[in-house]
Amino acid sequence: MTDPQPRSEKPSRTSEPAMIEAIGLCKFYGAFAAVNDVSFRVNKGELVAFLGPNGAGKSTTMKLLTGYLSPSAGVARVAGHDMATDRLAGSEKLGYLPENGPLYPDMTPHSLLEFFADARGLTGSKKKERIETVIDLCILSSVVYKPISKLSKGFRQRVGMAQALLHEPDVLIMDEPTAGLDPNQIAEVRRTLRRISEEKTILLSTHILQEVEAIASRVVMINEGRLVYDGSVKNLDADGQGLDAAFHRLTRASVAET
Ligand SMILES: Nc1ncnc2c1ncn2[C@@H]1O[C@H](COP(=O)(O)OP(=O)(O)OP(=O)(O)O)[C@@H](O)[C@H]1O
């Protein structure tokens, strides 16, 4: 089988420590491999886009990295902590925005943030200050006392982001933070991401290739559970045909071989 991986360019921050590491990660459901021997790292300060078609295994990989699922084989590390054996320590450094945003639709953004602040052990003035900071950062002040169930998808995503940022994590893993948003909301989420990416290490999955060009420094791509690209955005489009064409080529490779 030919190797469709043009891993031709080194990430720009190779000297920085790895904050997210997937090492030979596998997740099997019966005989089906949702994630198959996936290895990559995200170094401190990088914003890496995680791409792949529907069903490629992005959410499963992210759940393995966050310790939400345990791997069938391999190791997931966040800030050096093995998420299978040292999840609590890793979780202190990690903010996670799951695919469908925050739960608890009957709560308001404020009560949800209070709930998570309590769960994170934040108290007193620190708790108040962190809640105010993430409300400002994610531009939530106009909806802070409305039930989450009544908020637009864009605001719900931002509530999820605020929750993920509450404990000042160094690392963010975000599963499709712009899914289902209109162009204005996407622009707003992008601005928020740019603001926070100055200080954080971020892995985010997306289907939107323009998103990648707009915000990411590097791309990791999977297809049918396997890594098919790990390199710069620039190199992904080395032949000048555009990112759509590159995505198509890389994610059709294994289909063509079967
Ligand atoms: N609990 C499960 N049991 C069996 N199969 C599963 C389970 N969870 C996921 N899968 C399968 O694993 C594969 C990868 O799913 P995953 O949700 O990780 O893909 P994805 O890349 O995030 O897709 P999308 O872009 O549509 O969200 C899919 O074929 C999915 O049906």
| Ligand 1 site, residue 34, Cβ cutoff 6 A | yes
| Ligand 1 site, residue 14, Cβ cutoff 6 A | no
Average pLDDT over residues 75-92: 94
pLDDT number for residue 223 = 95
Asked if 60 and 38 touch (Cβ cutoff 8 Å), the reply is: no
Q: Is the pLDDT of residue 191 over 70?
A: yes
Q: At what angle do helices 153-165 and 183-197 cross, to 10 degrees?
A: 10
Asked if 196 and 175 touch (Cβ cutoff 8 Å), the reply is: no
Looking from the CA of residue 61, the nearest atom of ligand 1 is 18
How do residues 91-141 score in pLDDT, each as one tens digit?
A: 999 999 988 766 688 999 999 999 999 998 999 999 999 999 999 888 899
pLDDT number for residue 183 = 84
Distance (angstroms) between ligand 1 centre and the Cα of 25 equals: 15
Distance (angstroms) between ligand 1 centre and the Cα of 31 equals: 14
Q: Is the pLDDT of residue 222 over 70?
A: yes
Question: 188 pLDDT band (50/70/90 cuts)?
Answer: confident
pLDDT number for residue 158 = 86
pLDDT number for residue 14 = 64
Asked if 240 and 215 touch (Cβ cutoff 8 Å), the reply is: no
Enumerate domains of the chain plus CATH numbers.
1-91+203-258 (3.40.50.300)
| Ligand 1 site, residue 218, Cβ cutoff 6 A | no
Distance (angstroms) between ligand 1 centre and the Cα of 206 equals: 15
Average pLDDT over residues 13-28: 89
Nearest C-alpha to atom 30 of ligand 1 is from which residue? 55
Top mean-pLDDT range of 41-50, 94-103, 183-192 = 41-50
How do residues 232-253 score in pLDDT, each as one tens digit?
A: 988 888 888 888 888 888 888 5
Q: Is the pLDDT of residue 73 over 90?
A: yes
| Ligand 1 site, residue 98, Cβ cutoff 6 A | no
Supply the mean pLDDT for the chain: 87
pLDDT number for residue 253 = 54
Q: Is the pLDDT of residue 143 over 90?
A: yes
Average pLDDT over residues 41-57: 93
* Reported ipTM exceeds the 0.90 cut: yes
